[in-house]
Amino acid sequence: MLFFDTHAHLDDSSYNGDREEMLQRAQDSRISYIINVGYNLLSSRRSLDLAAKHDFIYAAVGVHPHDAAEAAENYLEEIQAMASHPKVVAIGEMGLDYYRNLSPKEIQQRVFREQIRLAAELEKPIIVHDREAHGDVMAILKDEAVGPAKGVLHCFSGSMEMAWECLKMGFYLSIAGPVTFKNANKLLDVAANISLDRLLIETDAPYLTPEPHRGKRNESAYVAYAGQRIAEIRGIPVEELAAATTENAKRLFKIE
């Protein structure tokens, strides 16, 4: 049984004291692959460095909405240069975050659109961040010519209706640790009902730690808790869930 953690930030400073031990725990827990996701140019470079050092880690490079206002004038050229590395399998994370609004909405939207266009040009999938911005995220995804590689809405938090719209557009949906929380009714509905061939799982480590470790630092080994909960909800063996989500991720990110 192999799991694929499709979204983590293992370059985060919270791992500086035990990163190699944490990565070993992931491998000991049968984590087959990890996508380490950049959120600005510096973290994207760190993601690429991490992927270059470890066969089972791949990288995504991009600018998160929190960092959109600080994006350098030539940020797209830098992302494009990094994306030429064979271990870079996606552009992102990108999107909109109206919960914290650390960058003005109009700048978030512009940087989101620019990265969608770059990904389409590069024929790479996109990794979309959406927090309390469902309407504008969906409008931009429908308005822009998203490339044939499509992408994933990570840590999906929308309704079942939004999920169906995303699936119709060709996107995958990724579910993280909150599916293990007691008040996750809306997310449980999505996890139970979306097509198994469009489902991914993730940790978003070091954030969103699942039960029974909630309140502590998250790590890739814990992706199994989300997988186990989703399998339980769907009434299928966890081995089936692990195999399906791993194959889905390999297909999306073009990993042999």
Q: What is the mean pLDDT of the chain?
A: 97
Q: Each residue of 166-223: pLDDT tens digit?
A: 999 999 999 999 999 999 999 999 999 999 999 999 999 999 999 999 999 999 999 9
Number of domains in the chain: 1
Instruction: Provide the CATH number for the domain around residue 83.
Output: 3.20.20.140
- pLDDT at residue 51, as a whole number: 98
Exposure string over 86-112, b if 16+ CB within 10 A, otherwise e: ebbbbbbbbbbbbeeeebeeeebbebb
Measured CA to CA in angstroms, residue 46 lies from 25, 42, 248, 253 at distances of 20, 6, 26, 19
As a three-state string, the secondary structure of 232-246 is HHHCCCHHHHHHHHH
pTM above 0.95, yes or no: yes
Spatial separation of the C-alpha atoms in residues 164 and 231, rounded to whole Å: 20
191: containing domain: 3-252
Backbone angles phi, psi at 13, to 5 degrees: -65, -20
Q: Each residue of 60-97: pLDDT tens digit?
A: 999 999 999 999 999 999 999 999 999 999 999 999 99
Spatial separation of the C-alpha atoms in residues 34 and 225, rounded to whole Å: 16
Mean pLDDT over residues 110-126, rounded? 98
Closest CA to 253 of 74, 2, 7, 1: 7
